[in-house]
Amino acid sequence: MKLAIVHYHLRRGGVTRVIETALDGLAEAGIDLEVVVLAGEAPYPGSPLADRCRVVSGLGYRNEIAAPGEADILATELGSAASNALGGPPDVWHFHNHSLGKNVAMPAVVDRLLGEDARLLLQIHDFAEDGRPENFRRQREAIDPARRPWYPEAPQVHYAVLNQRDARFLAGSGLARDRLHLLPNAVASPPCDGDSQAPAFVKPGQRFLLYPTRGIRRKNLGEMLLLAALSDGDCAFASTLAPENPEWRAIHDRWDAFAAKHDLPARLGIGADPSVSFGGLIGSADALLTTSVAEGFGLAFLEPWLAGKSIRGRDLPEITGDFSEKGVRLDGLYPRLDVPTAAFDTDLFRARLAEALQQAYASYGRALPDDGSEIAYASAASGDRADFGRLDERLQEQVLEWVIADPAKARGMMTLPDLSDASPELRDANASAVSDHYSIGAYGKRLSEIYRAIGEGPAREPGALDGDRLLDAFLDPARFTLLRS
C-alpha cells in the first residue's frame, strides 16, 4: 500500500510526534507500507522523518486564499509530490487537522482530491469548533462550508479522533460508525527516579501530590489549592510549570501568591528550577494529580500507572470513558467537586455565565439560546451546591477564603475527595491495561486496520456532515465552563 501523510509542518513535538509514533508503530506491527510525508517546511534537524519528507510550500500556515484556484493548485502539487515519491498515486491519503483553520485551503484541497477518486483518513486532534473561534471565522471567511464541505461524508472517507466525546459529536453530525475510529495516542512512561527525595517544603509525614502540568487556565490550579486548604495538613501539593502566555502567567502567579499569603501546603511551577529533575519529582511523589476541566486525549490519566503511581483528582468522563472500557480503573477520581453556594456570590456567578456564554456564541456568529444561561447554571449547580471547577478565578478565591476562615466547618459541609494511594494490585493492573492497549505497537496495528478498511471499502459521490450540528455540540451550554471562556 502507498500512503501519503499530510501536515502543515514537522516541527518537534505535537502532531509531528504523532506521525513519528505512527510510523514506528506500523514498523513494530510488521506492516509493509510505502510512505511519504508531505509538509510545508523541512522537518526539524535530526528528525526521523527527514528521508520520507517532501516539502510542498503551499502546505504551510495560511490565513486566506488570495486568488481563485489556489486550493486546486495546491491539490495538484500534493498529488505530484506524492506520486513522484511513491512511484504512483497514494492508495490512502492521511490528513492531520485538515479543518482547524491553520491552512484555510485544506478543506478545498480535500474536496478536490476526493473528486479525483482519492481515499482519505482525516485525523482530527483539535476542532476549530471547540473554543477556537478565530480559527473558525478564518476558515469560514475563506471557504463557505455550504459550497465546499469542511467535513466530507462518503464510504472512502474515514475519520480518526482522540476521544469518545469527539466521536459522539461526529456521529451526531451524520458520520457512520464504521467510518469513525477512536485512535488515542500511544502512551509511554514518564521519567521516574524512584530514589529521589520529596521537595524541602514537604513536611515529614505529609503525602506529596504532584500535578505535572503547565499551569494554563483550564488546568484549574485553584482547585489544587482548594484540596490543599481542605487537607488538614496531611498532604502537600505542587505543580511543575508556569504558562508562557503572559495573560495566563498572571493568573498562575496570582494563585502562587495566594498560596503563599495563606500559608497553604502548595507550591506552583517548581519544575522551573534548573536544579530540579522532572524525573525526580515524579519519583518522589506519592501520587500524581490532575484538576483540569478540559483535555484532548488525557495522557495525565494513563501515564502515571506506567511509572507505578496513582492518579488522583478530577475525572473527565467524556475523555476517560474509553480508558475504562479498556480496563483502566479510575475509581479514585471525582467528576465534580461540589462546594456550598453560600461560599461564593451566586448572583455574580449567574452574571458571569450569561456574559461569557453570550460572548462564546457571538464569537461563532451564533445567538445564545434563550435558556442557555439557565442550562449552564443548572449543569454547574444543584440546590445549595455547585461544582468548584465551573467557577472562574474570582469566585474560586471567594470559596477558598471561606474554607480558610474555618477549615473544620468546610470539611464538615463537603464530601472530601479520596487522595489516598491506589492498592499495589490496582496499580499493576492499570499499568498492564495501559501497556496492552496504548503501546506503540497497538497504535500501529490499529492504524493499519483503518488503512485496510479505507483501501478495501466501497466508494461513492461524497456528501457532507452537518457542520451546524457539530458546532452546536461543542457550544452546548451544559458543557460550558468559565475557565475556558
Whether residue 32 is predicted with pLDDT greater than 90 in this model: the reply is no
CA distance 123 to 94: 7
In the prediction, which pLDDT does 103 show? 97
Burial of 476 (0-12, 13-18, 19+ CB in 10 A): middle
- Local confidence band at 68 (pLDDT 50, 70, 90 cut-offs): confident
**What residue spans define the domains of the chain?**
2-186+440-475, 188-336+422-437, 338-416
Which of the following CATH numbers is that of domain 2-186+440-475: 2.60.40.10, 3.40.50.300, 3.30.1490.440, 3.40.50.2000?
Answer: 3.40.50.2000
DSSP character string of 396-443: HHHHHHHHHH-HHHHHHHS-----SPPPHHHHHHHHHHHHHHSSHHHH
Q: What tens digit of pLDDT does each residue of 190-233 get?
A: 999 988 999 999 999 999 999 999 999 999 999 999 999 999 99
pLDDT for residue 195: 86
Mean pLDDT over the full length of the chain: 96
Quick one: DSSP state of residue 62?
Answer: B
Residue 390 has pLDDT above 90, yes or no: yes
Distance from C-alpha of 139 to C-alpha of 178, rounded to nearest angstrom: 28
Q: Which residues contact 117 (CB under 8 A, 6 or more apart)?
A: 459
Given a cut of 90, is residue 275 above it in pLDDT? no
Judge if pTM exceeds 0.75: yes
Q: Three-state DSSP class for 356? A: helix
- Which helix (H) or strand (E) segment holds residue 306: the answer is helix 303-306
Q: What per-residue confidence (pLDDT) applies to 38? A: 98
Q: What is the pLDDT of residues 331-370, one digit of tens each?
A: 999 999 999 999 999 999 999 999 999 999 999 999 999 9
pLDDT tens digits for range 144-159? 998 899 999 999 999 9
Strand ordering across the sheet containing 381-382? 338-340, 385-387, 381-382
Split at pLDDT 50, 70, 90, the class of 423 is very high
- pLDDT greater than 90 at residue 468: yes
What are the angstrom distances between the C-alpha of 444 and each of 224, 306, 428? 37, 20, 24
Residue 431's pLDDT band (cuts 50, 70, 90): very high
The neighbouring-strand residues paired with 334 are 314
pLDDT in tens, 82-99: 999 999 999 999 999 999
Task: Please say whether the beta carbons of 72 and 112 come within 8 A.
Answer: yes
Q: Can you spell out the DSSP letters for 225-264?
A: HHHHHHTTTSEEEEEEE--SSHHHHHHHHHHHHHHHHTT-
Architecture of the CATH domain 188-336+422-437: 3-Layer(aba) Sandwich (3.40)
Please answer whether residues 136 and 107 qualify as being in contact, where contact means their C-beta atoms are separated by less than 8 angstroms.
no
Is-contact 437 326, C-beta < 8 A?
yes
Q: At 274, is the pLDDT very low, low, confident or very high (cuts 50, 70, 90)?
A: confident
Cα–Cα distance, 79 to 89 (Å, whole number): 7
Supply φ then ψ for residue 473, to 5 degrees. Answer: -65, -45
**Cα dist. 210→126, 266, 289, 301 in Å?**
27, 10, 6, 13
At 257 the pLDDT is 98
Q: How far apart are CA 267 and CA 256, in angstroms?
A: 7
Same fold, 2-186+440-475 and 188-336+422-437: yes
Residues 242-261 have pLDDT tens digits of 999 999 999 999 999 999 99
Asked whether residue 125 carries a pLDDT value surpassing 90, the answer given is yes
